Amino acid sequence: MANHCIKPAIDQGLKNRPVKKSGTPLLLVLLLSLVSLNSLANALKHNPSPYLAMHGSDPVDWRPWSAEVLKEAQRENRLIFISSGYFSCYWCHRMQEDVYHHADAATILNADTIPVKIDRELSPGLDHYLIDFSQRTTGRAGWPIHVLLTPEGYPFYAFMYQPKARFIAIIERAARLWRTDPDTIRTAARKALPQPEPYPDPPPLLKLTHTQLAQLLFATLEGAMDDFGGGLKGQQKFPQTPLYLSLLTLTQWPDHIKEWFILSLDAMASQHLRDHVNGGFFRYTVDPDWHTPHYEKMLYDNAQLATLYLRAGKRFNRPDWITVGLETLRFLDRHLYNPKTGLYFGSLSATDAHHHEGGNYLWDAATLKKLLPPELYRAAADAWGLDGSGPWDGKWLPAPFEGNAWPAIRRILAEHSTQPARDSKQVLAWNALMVDALAAATDATGDPQWRTRAVALYNKLSRQLRTLQPPRALNDDGSPMGQATLQDYALTVAAGETLGKDTAPLRQRTARNFLTSSGWKFSAAPLLPGQSGLKWLADSALPSLTAIADLPYPRHVAAVQTRLRQGPLQSHSYLRYNTLP
């Protein structure tokens, strides 16, 4: 693999590199100090993506991703540097503040590479490719992700957030290796690229059944589930909503799986994954006890969690879960719904206006004492321990407690809360998840208005996908952004089938745009070598797209049945969407 020979060379260079306060010559620093960074602008300055636009005043000469970048890199024999992130990501904001705002880092990046910034939410195919490369070659991946590529587009080095000194060292070392030994980098990078393989012909028999995969999933969960805290074992706790939704499609569960499922939903609703003041769920918690959230709020999480609590509430006769689901829908209507388009915005940022993580949600004791009447403050002080030091950097993240005071406290705090910055993209795929949530509300409550809204939303999405150039998203005023991806088509197909719609024409368009002899492409026109078809896509924060797309293609499922057997915890959506016999 590329990193077997290239990554050690770069990393060894970092170890041997003497520590310097700056790798930039003094004269250059003096010249740069005469330039106001606020006066600088790059090609992202007025980009419709809020994430890309926020980098428009960086001194880095950012470009949007395009075929022209590859042409320029090959013409000038320069490395390509791609950075992928998203608007609500705290560490993406930190990377900008700690590195990209600084002239010395920008100067080195501009001199040694062609810097490209992508919004992962608009370019999920390229982002998946970069994340997969990082995972394969370093064993880790996350955002912001940065990948260095040869001028021909072959990736050879990946890393995530780094402080400025180490970032500069990485770029300098990679550029030096490129200048002195480009052939070694090119050869290793090409060899590391997975080669696409066509579907086998004749196809193997599909022997794996729905029942067998369910049993494999139960067996795998035995060692993965947290019996004490709910969710899956790990240092961080993600909601794993697609997994729970897949389990809900099964009619029979072992008793201990049922107990764990109930424990998990109760923990997510009662602990700090959920915002108990303003509503909605955070992305995940950074600890295994659901205590400290990573404060971004994503449409795709909240839409799926609303669906989960509504469907589980009906199945288990839990009115409190149904209430959680309905409150989550109301949160989405208040904070993410765009009446101009009838669609939902993508996310709320993890940082406040002062770039403090969680600043919109955390309260200090002095502010609470000022806002709350004395009797309510005393109740909160007793429940939360306000006389001590707050567990969240000296502050408190409110949670319900016994007694009559909490509803009034919640109302007062909600009235005085500040709104996080919002990403104004309205991604088609994530809105398709809202169709299921709205339909689930009718199923759980009997109120037909929710289903009426679900049908209207589905119709809007399917109309967008029937246009000559279907968009990935709409901006604030309804103008198209990007190009629709496999994710948009597949999740809209699934939404239509939830409503009982005829999705055959949409499935045909999906296959026409994305199906190849070696699998499904993420995007209709990928630019990098190796962005070929994928036969299997894992379940993650979103359900597996191949589980949805391959329903009409049993021979495709037969080709990956060994993968499903080996990884049922990453393939459970093949149960949910009845992809197996």
Q: Which residue has the higher pLDDT, 514 or 22?
A: 514
For the segment 324-379, what is each residue's pLDDT rounded down to a tens digit?
A: 999 999 999 999 999 999 999 999 999 999 989 999 999 999 999 999 999 999 99
Tokens at 221, concatenated: 């969960």
Residues 506 and 563 in one domain: yes
**How much is the mean pLDDT over the chain?**
93
The CATH number that applies at residue 548 is: 1.50.10.10
- 442: confidence class by pLDDT, cuts 50, 70, 90: very high
Residues 316 and 171 in one domain: no
Residues 100 and 227 in one domain: no
Distance CA 332, CA 350 (A): 16
- Assign 79 to helix, strand or coil: strand
For the segment 390-438, what is each residue's pLDDT rounded down to a tens digit?
A: 999 899 999 999 999 999 999 999 999 999 999 999 999 999 999 999 9
Place of tokens 């002239």: 103
DSSP letter assigned to residue 543? -
The 3-state secondary structure of 258-326, one letter per residue = HHHHHHHHHHHHHCCCECCCCCCECCEECCCCCCCEECCEEHHHHHHHHHHHHHHHHHCCCHHHHHHHH
Mean pLDDT of 554-573: 97
Please tell me the predicted confidence (pLDDT) of residue 459: 98
CA distances from 547 to 83, 201, 484, 534 (A): 29, 21, 19, 12
Please tell me the predicted confidence (pLDDT) of residue 40: 57
Strands 79-85, 145-149: pairing kind: antiparallel
CB atoms closer than 10 angstroms to residue 460: 17
For the segment 171-182, what is each residue's pLDDT rounded down to a tens digit?
A: 999 999 999 999
Distance CA 429, CA 433 (A): 7
Residues 447 and 403 in one domain: no
Task: Give DSSP secondary structure letters for 458-478.
Answer: HHHHHHHHTSSS--SEE-TTS
Boundary (domain end) residue, out of 161, 192, 223: 192
- 384: confidence class by pLDDT, cuts 50, 70, 90: very high
- 66 has pLDDT over 80: yes
Please tell me the predicted confidence (pLDDT) of residue 161: 96
Q: Is 541 within the bounds of a domain?
A: yes
Q: Is 359 within the bounds of a domain?
A: no
Q: Is 279 within the bounds of a domain?
A: yes
Mean pLDDT of 457-470: 97
Please tell me the predicted confidence (pLDDT) of residue 9: 56
Boundary (domain end) residue, out of 377, 393, 412: 412
Residues 386 and 466 in one domain: no
Distance CA 379, CA 470 (A): 54
Residues 427 and 390 in one domain: no
- 164 has pLDDT over 50: yes
Residues 435 and 398 in one domain: no
Residues 322 and 392 in one domain: no
CA 133, chain centre distance (Å): 17
- 535 has pLDDT over 70: yes
Cross-strand partners of 119: 85
Residues 340 and 403 in one domain: no
Q: Is 433 within the bounds of a domain?
A: yes
Boundary (domain end) residue, out of 192, 221, 242: 192
What is the per-residue burial (b if ≥16 Cβ within 10 Å, else e) of 214-242? bebbbebbeeebbeebbbbeeeebbbbbb
Residue 387, exposed/middle/buried by CB under 10 A (0-12, 13-18, 19+)? exposed
Place of tokens 């993650």: 540
Distance CA 313, CA 320 (A): 7
- 12 has pLDDT over 90: no
Residue 71, exposed/middle/buried by CB under 10 A (0-12, 13-18, 19+)? exposed
Q: Is 198 within the bounds of a domain?
A: no
CA distances from 33 to 25, 26, 97 (A): 12, 11, 17
Please tell me the predicted confidence (pLDDT) of residue 41: 76
CB atoms closer than 10 angstroms to residue 141: 16
Please tell me the predicted confidence (pLDDT) of residue 22: 39
Residues 35 and 134 in one domain: yes
Please tell me the predicted confidence (pLDDT) of residue 7: 63
Contact 156, 192 (CB under 8 A): yes
Structural domain boundaries enclosing 76: 2-192
Q: Is 202 within the bounds of a domain?
A: no
- Assign 348 to helix, strand or coil: strand
Contact 369, 375 (CB under 8 A): no
- Assign 388 to helix, strand or coil: coil
241-248 vs 299-315: helix crossing angle, rounded to 10: 30
- 47 has pLDDT over 70: yes
- 39 has pLDDT over 70: no
Domain count, the chain: 3
Residues 403 and 427 in one domain: no
- The share of the chain scoring above pLDDT 70, in percent, equals 93
CA 480, chain centre distance (Å): 21
Q: Is 120 within the bounds of a domain?
A: yes
Cα atoms in the Cβ-side hemisphere of radius 13 Å centred on 258: 8
Q: Is 162 within the bounds of a domain?
A: yes
Mean pLDDT of 222-233: 97
Please tell me the predicted confidence (pLDDT) of residue 194: 83
The CATH number that applies at residue 184 is: 3.40.30.10
Residues 157 and 271 in one domain: no
